[in-house]
Amino acid sequence: MDARAAARLLKGVRAAALAGDRPPAAPRPEIAESWRRMLAGGVHPDRDARSRVLSATETEERRHVSPLREVLPVLREGLLPALDEALHIMVVADADGRLLWREGHSSILRKADRLGFAVGADWDEAVVGTNGVGTALVARRPVQVFSAEHFVSSHHDWTCAGAPVRDPRDGRLLGVVDVSGPLATMHPATLAWVSSVARLAERELRLRHLESLERLRTVAAPLLARLPGRALAVDANGWTAAVTGLAPAERIPLPKDFGPGRVWVPRLGECVVEPLPGGWLLRVTQDRHSTAVTRIVLDLSRAGCWSVTVYGPSGSWSQELSPRHAELLFLLAQSPRGRSAAELAGELFGDPTRTVTVRAELSRVRRHLAGVLTHRPYRFAEDVEVELIRPEDPAALLPHSTAPAVVRARLGRTGPGMIP
């Protein structure tokens, strides 16, 4: 099917979805999910809504603090050489959907200006509808939006492919790199191309992180060699650079309000914390087993900002959650009696045979929540109080997720053994 025929078909699919009729073909799952969010959020399908464009000063401030600034050379090298010939442009947006950088063919840049696809503009999905920047941020995975898959009709002459870029230090979503162009110029392989370049950018960030850990290690190793007892040096995200008197751990979850002084650290217990260039020195003063966890709060109320907070006699600490770990902890919070790996695989993937993936992910979660999660079956420990904070709007629960159990929960339905 050529581009024009595909566009005509998609317009019929969109029209049927808006009218509540049976469509001539089913929209792709990620597009259907986005359209449902747009309808629920009141985005007008035929009105080109725009929010205030950032000033030059505001844009420059965001550029300055964005880690994406460090990988611009990688993005440019991977994408720009082909853009002029293909009549495309590259945009880089932050995690709020604000366009911070934009480069490419001059004639396409002028067309993008008329669409409001300009530096400083807000391309959050809730503002402009389904698109390669905003929808990739919500779905947290690469997304291509072709012609009338855009919810707002003024965007139907465009096709865009966006891929998220994450910070390898903490898994935080930094933003999206997107390639956009007129309908007739886009190739089906564009999404794979953009995704590959986004992975190269993440690899560059990972290399820079390893270099910073090596610099911290150079400072900390001689210091640790002179210290008695147990101590370690970690960077700002808890990644271990050097250790003495302890079994090496790749990363230590740090409390949210972490700083100098006496601090209770999960997996270690009470520590004396001192600053180091590029990180922290932690000297363990108390056995970790002397402070039992009494309560945890799983906060899923804000899209893309999911966290778990652990409380004990010595204080509390918080950990941000990846999309997959947020899904798993939600399912366990809904199932006090626990779930087997096969049951969790069925609820996550609709396939109970995918137990290897479930066990691997839960192993990662348990590294940070030692003493909180048990297995055989997987569940929260019996003596731990669990509080689950949901979004006010049930449809906003883990909006990226396609897990069958999460989709049922968004619709107000639950499976056997689950708390409604």
User: What phi and psi values does residue 304 have, to the nearest 5 degrees?
Assistant: 80, 0
Query: What backbone phi and psi angles, to 5 degrees, belong to 145?
Result: -120, 115
pTM of the model: 0.74
Q: What is the pLDDT of residue 3?
A: 72
Query: According to the model, what pLDDT value does residue 261 have?
Result: 87
List, run by run, the mean pLDDT of 10-residue segments along the chain (420 residues). Answer: 78 88 88 92 89 93 95 95 85 96 93 94 95 95 94 93 94 94 82 96 96 94 90 94 91 83 83 90 73 80 85 70 91 90 92 90 77 84 89 88 90 64
Burial of 339: CB neighbours in 10 Å, binned 0-12, 13-18, 19+: buried
pLDDT at 315: 61
Q: Specify the pLDDT at position 292.
A: 61
Residue 83's pLDDT is what?
Answer: 83
Q: What is the pLDDT of residue 262?
A: 86
Instruction: Count the neighbouring beta carbons within 10 Å of the beta carbon of residue 234.
Output: 26
For 260-297, letters b (16+ CB in 10 Å) and e give: eeebbbbbbbbbebeebebbbbbbbebebeebebeebb
